[in-house]
Amino acid sequence: MSRIVPLVFLSMLAYGCGSPAGETETEGSTTGTTTGGETAGPEGGQAVYEQPVEGGNTFACATCHAITEPSADGFRRPGHPIGDATRRPHYKKSQLTDMREAVNTCLQEWMLADPWTAEDSRWTSLYAWLDGQTGVEAAPPVDFDIVQPPADMSGGDANNGNVLFNQSCAVCHGLDAIGTQQAPGLAGLGLDLDYIGLRVRTSGLPDSPTYEGLTGGRMPFWSAQRLSDDELRDIAAWIANSEAPSTTGDPTDTDTGDSDTTTTGGDCGMTHPMIGWTAELEKKLHNVGGTAEIVDDCTIVISNFTYDGAGIDVRIYGGIDGNYHNGFAMTEDLLKPGGYEGVTLTATVPDGQTLDDLNGISVWCVDVGVDFGSGMFSP
């Protein structure tokens, strides 16, 4: 298995896995601090580019966009480089002429953050810094095509796919797909080739007002211009046949008894007609399994719950007809070394929601919008 590593791989992981947004870097850092719309430091715009946005997920502008290519760290990202973005005539395939609106699309659809006003210091700092990166008076617009994966995803070269993965997908998923705070680990999951192809090509909000043809998830899609079909087949071949990373944690740190995890909700009665309904969690990722039962007006008990404990921010979610993007959390974060094996887990419908607001349940990776395993309730 190839282990070609871009020279600054570890420094890139620091953007998503090191100091949280809002924390000051070590003394002498030029990346600055971003809090509440205020950006301090000699390179304020660079800090906005490099650091996750407060109130958003672990993504930053630098997660998806280099300044120029070849990039300084050697990664190819899903988005085009943005070093000349301030000089482009329009954005998002001519849908927008205001660059701030294009940035707000990224903030809202990919980074789970609030949009910026024209007066927000983060926007003005970022624009000024980016404008200083370009040496052209006018730049051409960026073209991208959202395409379906090949009908036949077989025939890829897994060895070449490992190299390609570590030069592109690893910016979020980590070297050899071990996972980071920006994206879950993929190695050793035995994912289906067609599933991999669909996620790579069409991941994103299915109700996006900006992009057509997306099928769910928070991972940015890879357009036809950023990744060829042959490269996609190679990467998929490696992911599908990759080996699980070795564990370094305490192998005894695994729940096997009747421990549970709860959240707070309102007082629970026994009036709703769905009481007694069950849902079987269908495994999609990370060894998820179990049987969920609605036991009263605000409590769902999942018996024989299994989940390997990996991901980013993973919670039990409720939703309607499989739409967990617009659903709600019913537990705290479930990440845990050693995971869960055959435990009883308690989820609580939070105040402000009722059983009328769900007919399905999911082990949901919040930051990237991925369903690790889910089921629909029935009598």
Phi, psi of 314 (to 5 degrees): -115, 125
Q: How confident is the model at residue 312 (pLDDT cuts 50, 70, 90)?
A: confident
Average pLDDT for the chain: 84
The tokens 């009665």 sit on which residue? Answer: 269
Give the mean model confidence (pLDDT) for residues 75-79: 96
> Residues spanned by CATH 1.10.760.10 within the chain?
9-131, 158-241
Higher pLDDT, 187 or 367: 187
378 DSSP 8-state letter:
B
pLDDT of residue 32: 34
Name the CATH superfamily for 9-131.
Cytochrome c-like domain (1.10.760.10)
Please state, in angstroms and as integers, the Cα–Cα distance from residue 204 to each residue in 181, 199, 210, following that order.
Answer: 18, 9, 10
Residues 6+ apart with CB under 8 A from 68: 81, 83, 133
Question: C-alpha 5: how far from its chain's center?
Answer: 22
What CA–CA distance (Å, rounded) separates 297 from 355? 7
pLDDT of residue 375: 95
pLDDT of residue 19: 32
> Is-contact 61 49, C-beta < 8 A?
yes
The tokens 């739409």 sit on which residue? Answer: 323
pLDDT of residue 257: 41
What CA–CA distance (Å, rounded) separates 72 from 62? 11
Give the mean model confidence (pLDDT) for residues 49-56: 91
pLDDT of residue 254: 38
Q: Among 1.10.760.10, 3.40.190.170, 1.10.510.10, 1.20.1440.60, what is the CATH number of 158-241?
A: 1.10.760.10
Phi, psi of 34 (to 5 degrees): -120, 115
What CA–CA distance (Å, rounded) separates 345 from 305? 7
Give the mean model confidence (pLDDT) for residues 58-87: 95
Give the mean model confidence (pLDDT) for residues 251-257: 38
Other CB atoms within a 10 A radius of the CB of residue 140 amount to: 10
**Residues facing residue 255 across a β-bridge:** 340
Q: How confident is the model at residue 21 (pLDDT cuts 50, 70, 90)?
A: very low
Is pLDDT at 31 greater than 80 in this prediction? no
Q: How confident is the model at residue 205 (pLDDT cuts 50, 70, 90)?
A: confident
The tokens 């480089």 sit on which residue? Answer: 81
Of 223-227, 232-236, 249-253, 363-367, the one with minimum mean pLDDT is 249-253
Strand ranges (DSSP E) for the chain? 33-35, 38-40, 278-280, 282-283, 289-296, 299-307, 314-320, 323-329, 340-348, 360-365, 370-376
Higher pLDDT, 219 or 19: 219
Angle at which helices 229-241 and 158-167 pack, to 10 degrees? 100
Give the mean model confidence (pLDDT) for residues 301-328: 92
Which helix (H) or strand (E) segment holds residue 192: the answer is none
What CA–CA distance (Å, rounded) separates 15 from 59? 8
Look at residue 206 and give its three-state secondary structure: coil
Phi, psi of 336 (to 5 degrees): -165, 130
What CA–CA distance (Å, rounded) separates 60 from 178? 20
Is pLDDT at 367 greater than 90 in this prediction? no
Q: How confident is the model at residue 267 (pLDDT cuts 50, 70, 90)?
A: low
Is pLDDT at 194 greater than 60 in this prediction? yes
Give the mean model confidence (pLDDT) for residues 312-332: 92
Higher pLDDT, 273 or 262: 273
pLDDT digits (tens, 9 = 90+) for 103-117: 999 999 999 899 999
The amino acid occupying position 229 is D
pLDDT of residue 246: 61
